[in-house]
Structure 1
Amino acid sequence: MFEVLVVGGGPAGLNAAQTLGRQRRRTLLVDSGRPRNAPASEMHMFLSRDGFSPAALRRIGRAELAEYATVEVRDGLITALSGTIDDFTAEFADGTTARARRVILATGQVDALPEIDGVTELFGRGLYHCPFCHGFEAADRPLAVLGGDFSQAMLALYLADRFAKDLVLCANGPLQVSPELEEAVRRAGIPVREEPVTRLAGDDGDVTVHFAAGEPLWRSAVFHRPAQRQHTDLAAGLGCELLPDGCVRVDPAQRTTVPGVYAAGDTARQADLPGPTPFVITGAADGAKAAIWLEQELFRAGVDVPIPG
């Protein structure tokens, strides 16, 4: 019986496991080896690690966990998770099981990319999802935004406001936004191309958008904000409440609605926030918070005295 099972080996899971290891909690970290930011070569907004490789950060994190004798790291895939507080059981794809008193879900999300040739190959290498992560490096170059819904139109307005004077909204069909948003795009001077997009080709700094009709469009980089879904259905299987956007609902201590189950990183958010914060540094912070409050829960459960509040 482990004290804590941490599901997910990204920044949230690694930081949670390290925090628990420092408190001598017997912890099992399970890593499926499928991180969301695998296509990215750099991460940003992480003090002292700006421009650092996310893959290198994961390697260093796992190496640091080896210093904590109470932390075990297992590569594998959990296919089912069941139980209640103080007795959860994880079932692995290889048929083995593990039990734990508490669970931290740090399984992350998956980007649902549009089915256009070249999109998957360029994602993270010329096609970017986040102006906070990649806008600075793309600044003052010819840019495009792919898609014509509310999210993409707002992304185009933001990029035009912060980073780009030469920006084209490639709507991939008729623009599907309110008249007010369409007028805002027009006022910002953003050209809109509504021809269906058939292919993206090139590389970072040299991307060509091909259309079903009309001339191809050369850009230095293309941005697209994809829809997301949960990487696994483990939270739903445990009965955790999911918010309308699919994120696991947590409170300020990263507790889900199921006793004994915490969630951290972009898999979860508080209900009063408009969306998850899918950044490496915030994921790591969430992991530390979840581990700290889970640690205190375990400690207080073992103290046979009334604790105010």
Structure 2
Amino acid sequence: MFFSVVIPTYNRLPILQKCLRALENQQFSDRESDESHYRHIQGYEVVVVDDGSTDDTLAWLAQERQQLPHVRWLVQEHQGPAAARNLGVKEAQGDTIIFIDSDLVVTETFLSCHAQALQEGEEKLGSDRLFTYGAVINTCNFDEPTSEPYKITDFSAAYFATGNVAIARHWLEEAGLFDTQFQLYGWEDLELGVRLKNLGLKLIKCPQAVGYHWHPPFSLEQIPPMIDQEIQRGRMGVLFYQKHPTWNVRMMIQMTWIHRILWGVLSLGGRLNERTMAPFLQWLIDRGKPQLALEAARIFLNWYNVQGVYAAYSATRG
């Protein structure tokens, strides 16, 4: 088993540095070298795909080449994460692909835990028609991201999300890789997940393979780009639905009467928005509760998403 860790990145140099250094510190226990029970890990590489960064990412990678022996990098014009991941897979040397994001910091046993879960899953199923899905813990602690405890808000019911997943390369190729029509924010990984599910792949949870997803503490300045992301996610959600017109996809992209009523009621028909809620959100932030402020902001962020998805859907039918 040879791992290729594929990481798309775009203007995230400070946290990318932590991400890559953590991947250089991987440890493999004696159990993984016991071939009577576990497939031997032959090695790993880290494939960074720079998606047109303008923050000196490439200069830093070249400068740190000696300290990052597992890392090699590819460059493309800014086309989005779907195209970046496809390039990474096509140029990867491994038989097993691990996708993480460039703002994820992993533990020292990250790769060995995925390897063990893959092997045990194959033995149980009698085939490699599976992938492993590790845990993602959100944190805004930049200095010590791995000190963050698991929270109920870290739970994810997604089938296939590229924040922390390991899969045999040939299944990605058989499914057709990521659809590069998804050039805006959202859904390119879950759409590929639908195609993988149609091939019969089973999700194997691997909570021991932990990644800490860093993001800056929530502030009011982040709200405009977050609203834009929700509108983009609505547009890409309609593309997702056009490819897979099922009730499950409608539920995922929030294009149902349930979501329209839920977020309409909670936002008072849009009256609770970034302007009217700003004083309350700032009050929470000033009291050291930025995460709670972010959860409160999701009231109007989800309303923007629902509005965006219905507007995009109407445009396709007009």
TM-score, reference length from structure 2: 0.24
Which structure has the bigger radius of gyration?
Answer: 1
Q: Which has the higher contact order (CA 8 A, sep 6+)?
A: 1
Whichever structure has more strand as a proportion of its residues is 1
**Bigger proportion of residues as helix:** 2
TM-score by length of 1: 0.24
